[in-house]
Amino acid sequence: MPDKQLALVTGASTGIGLELAKCAAGSGFDLIIAADEAAIESAAAELRTLGGSVQALQADLATTEGVDKLCAAVGSRPVDALLANAGIGLGKAFLDQDFQRIRRLVDTNITGTLYLIHRVGKEMLQRNSGRVLITGSIAGFTPGSFQAVYNASKAFLDSFSFALREELRDSAVTVTCLMPGATETEFFRRADMMDTKVGTEKKDDAHEVAKAGFDAMMSGESDVVTGMKNKLQTTIANVTPNEVLAKQHRKMAEPGTAKS
Ligand code: NAP
């Protein structure tokens, strides 16, 4: 049995997930990383230069088969840290969106994430050891007009993360929610949001966001919101009516609001 700890990172081919995987590799974890597309192999090659073993897996984590494939790759080796990060966005008005894409978002962000945490979490609880980091979002604080299903999916994950943490409070398994604000990654391009203000304005650095999340997970904190602007935004959101928040979100996410 290898003596290094094992971290499982989903959505590690790009963006926040790749940076989380770098943090884990830099802290001495062996890695199993997963994403849907073949780019996971080049991410693995980059991560191997940081030391430790890195196993890459191409799996569609929107499906139970994909999650089963990932769990099969882990085998009987204990997972010390599960970084459930894979996720997608979807811009435009709800009724203009393609329902297959809506469903895929829910399957990826919610169902696949829950199934993976259910499988790995059970094993962590049996061993009474493990850390779970869930990538939620500050989007979960705001009804996301023109990104409605995405924000709702992140509200789900933010809420779920705190609830699971409480259920596990008498165990040594910790659950931490990373709640990034808008971050510079592939996310907005893939979500068809390059014609929006939020898609085109300056965003947070993915490495800094991931480092804050990784550090919070390692110290067993409940959650982390990075940066003063995002902290202020969440504090204000907590005391603002949802109707007002939905109006404000339109200004950020409605097509045609892009900075020229
Ligand atoms: P990103 O660069 O697009 O990365 C998304 C990652 O998730 C990729 O590795 C992608 O791999 C993977 N993924 C997506 N669907 C998958 C599937 N069905 N099966 C397996 N892997 C899948 O975007 P990101 O910004 O780093 O997003 C990472 C997480 O941060 C997401 O949960 C997102 O909601 C959250 N977040 C992002 C922001 C932001 O502003 N960027 C803010 C708050 C929260 P493939 O390319 O192979 O599909």
Instruction: Please state, as a whole number, how many other Cβ atoms lie within 10 Å of the Cβ of residue 49.
Output: 8
Query: Hunting for tokens 């994909």 — which residue is that?
Result: 66
Q: What is the mean pLDDT of residues 246-260?
A: 93
Q: What is the mean pLDDT of residues 243-260?
A: 94
User: Which are the contacts of 255, defined by CB distance < 8 A and separation ≥ 6?
Assistant: 91, 92, 146, 195, 196
pLDDT of 223 reads 98
35-73: per-residue pLDDT in tens?
A: 999 999 999 999 999 988 999 999 999 999 999 999 999
* pTM confidence score: 0.98
Query: Hunting for tokens 């404000």 — which residue is that?
Result: 248
- Residue 14 CA: nearest ligand 1 atom is 2
Query: Hunting for tokens 């789900």 — which residue is that?
Result: 156
- Residue 185 CA: nearest ligand 1 atom is 2
Exposure string over 170-208, b if 16+ CB within 10 A, otherwise e: eeebbbbbbbbbbbebebbeebbbeebbbbeeebbebbe
Burial of 133 (0-12, 13-18, 19+ CB in 10 A): buried
Question: In the structure encoding, which two tokens stand for residue 97, read together?
Answer: 């969106």
24 pLDDT more than 80: yes
pLDDT of 259 reads 76
Pocket of ligand 1 (CB under 6 A): 10-17, 35-37, 39, 60-62, 85-88, 108, 135, 137, 180, 182-183, 185-187, 190
* Ligand 1 centroid to residue 108 C-alpha, Å: 9
Q: What is the mean pLDDT of residues 139-167?
A: 98
pLDDT band at residue 130 using 50, 70 and 90 as cut-offs: very high
69 contacts 44 by C-beta, under 8 angstroms: no
What is the dotted CATH code of the domain comprising 6-253? 3.40.50.720
Question: Could you state, in order of their start, the residue ranges of all structural domains in the chain?
Answer: 6-253
Rounded to 5 degrees, φ, ψ at 128 are 55, 50
Query: Hunting for tokens 């007002």 — which residue is that?
Result: 244
222-232: per-residue pLDDT in tens?
A: 999 999 999 99
pLDDT of 52 reads 83
Q: What is the mean pLDDT of residues 117-125?
A: 98
DSSP secondary structure code for residue 252 in this structure: H
90-116: per-residue pLDDT in tens?
A: 999 999 999 999 999 999 999 999 999
129 contacts 78 by C-beta, under 8 angstroms: yes
